[in-house]
Structure 1
Amino acid sequence: MTSQPVNGPLHGLKVVEMGQLIAGPFCGQLLGDMGAEVIKLEAPGVGDPMRHWGQGETPTWWRVIARNKYSVAVDLRAAEGQQTARDLIAQADILIENFRPGTLEKWGLAPADLMKANPRLIVVRVSGYGQSGPYSSRAGFGGIGEAMGGWRGIVGEPDRAPSRMGVSIGDTLAATYGCMGALAALQHRERTGQGQMVDSSLYESVLQVMESMIPEYAVNGHKRTRTGSVLPKIAPSNVYPCADGEYLIGANQDAVFARLCDAMGRPELATDARYATHLARGEHQSELDALIGRWTATLTVQALEDLMIEHAVPAGRVFDAEDMMADPHFAARQAIIEVEDPILGKVPMQGVFPKLSATPGSVRRPAPLEVGQDTADVLQRWLGR
């Protein structure tokens, strides 16, 4: 396939991606979407297990996480493959890896040595527990990081076991923080000429988005627990039943709640002592949710949406993939794009975010379908072999 013109704010940067599954490769996807040339090193014949992950008869996750990448077959357990990796990394701006700490060192690819050969190199290391500390050598997957970082403990209904998000949020958060660290390190390198290591752990990436969980306990002795679809004391803010589906309404501010009451034909609720203030609504959250739910159940999703728009109440339907692909706002902003695939044809998938006005990112080439399909091309362009 002929690649589209290269663009994006990271155009000209060279990235070597070592690792597999989600955390490291998603970091590579983000950098590639922003214009970097990403060379993915894969075990000959086997490749990344992500090639086979996903739902349905034809796994498609690989088409997303490996877009904008080149596949180079390298046996990192063999001396020849390790030397090829060293040579490529010597030409790179960024190295991404998400092996268990100590693995690179075992293969003779210690980041400290790689940075001696290439002082401008930025090494993004994504792992379960970080590169130091008593747990650093443990195997760690995304779900384990979510549990340790506090996420799993607060997701789900209070009378059931902890639940999961439905997506691999721990992995993607660690990858996103790894990408953010790489961009910060590039700015430092611009000033000093020196690279550095970026240590992004799964559990700390989850911990970073846990809002005030730690100080709430430290200051007030309060431990957050599972609360289902509501935030305690924040009302109304819930998913409510309609005659033909479900609808999310967030009207917990006083002025917004008053507009919701008008939409319900119950303006008196806005001045009712039980609901007139944020604190009062929080104390009567269950009864208020039940009251609103009885009203929404008499309406279709479309009828309720029309009312919420008319009264400027923040609200929205609960989308699935079919809804997204049919929605005009997704289409207008190109939130879903089509990438030409040699086997599947045009494959819809999420676009490139965030959107930059002067140097937007793009999907310039589809995921490599064969392990090592770009080996000869990359070795010739990067190493002159």
Structure 2
Amino acid sequence: MYLPRYGGHNRTVAHHELRTVGVEEELLLVDPVSGAPRAVSGAVIRYAKDQKGITLSGKEPEALETELQREQLETGTAPSASLADLADEVRRGRRAASEAAAGVGAAVVALATLPATVHPSITPSLRYRRMANAYAQTAEEQLTCGCHVHVNVESPEEGVAVLDRIRPWLPPLLALSANSPFWQGRDTGYESWRQQVWGRWPSSGPTELFESVKGYRAAVEAMLDTGALLDEGMIYFDARLSRHYPTVEIRIADVCLHADDTVLVAALVRALVDTAAQAWRAGIPPDRVRTDLLKLAVWRASRSGLREDLVHPVTRHPVPARAVLEALIDHLTPALTASGDLATVRRLLRRLLERGNGARWQRQVYARTHDLTAIVSEAIAQTSGTPEEP
């Protein structure tokens, strides 16, 4: 199993320094008028490469990447220590994707599923074709968009210790980010239907405790030995060690409609990593909650988001979503205070609760217009929109 190098060019994090955080966002490509999906990811990236002014994070336009389906695109930010810088990076990425899509007559939207009926087309790479052949309808239907947050860790040992300790606290992140209530032209009744579709992959979801780097490697290698996965890139845990960077990668969230919500999720993830790492150094053992209970908590967050009860990360009992969020903030307050992020997180969370997550926004648009196309049209503007007022 490949593990990235720690140290050297990718400097480790000292305990008094802020950990850097980066975000990958998957976006849908649509027609700007009809809202219909556009299978043009390859053309969008070629256009970006030809236009020297379209860049991400001061990098070459290759930071725009294809995904499994030709109707989607991925952006990535540079690692940032400050939330203000991260917010700029997220918006820069969305603008770059919007400009490149416009260059081929398309637009991008930060929706985790497309509301209208869609028949996606696989990106014509060898790996994706192998996936389509191996996983059949599961792969064919995977037009879903997530938000992946990377936070740097100083060693694989710290990374695995973090993975073991953040497990019960991940479902609230899904509830906050839920942005996929519609699927194939109908309201699913779920806040995050993406989670239900994504859960069809055989390696997705919460994990058992790994206990050590050796345990993590053994788990991954045992999964690969079954032959059910094509390669290590298909280790689709809700949280995993990155294969390419000295980071932990938290993958449970839907892509957020509003860039501010992306920043909120990233801030909470960094605080979770800090809190878990500090607990590990202090010799505090992880919560040994069963994986089947974690799956139930994830399902509950997917089903009702912020509308109803969630499973409390400590008691495992159903409580109102706001009570779970209060528990999450209480759990993270020391880390958020140390990073200087507490006031920003409280402000962003208050704003999200006032207007609702992406799922609530989509349903409000549909209730007003009775038109699924209107959701996509209005989401185009929201995706690359200006920051909200304080």
Q: What is the TM-score with the length of structure 2 in the denominator? A: 0.23
Which structure has the higher relative contact order (CA within 8 Å, separation 6+)?
2
Q: What is the TM-score with the length of structure 1 in the denominator? A: 0.23
- State which structure, 1 or 2, has the greater radius of gyration over its C-alpha atoms: 1
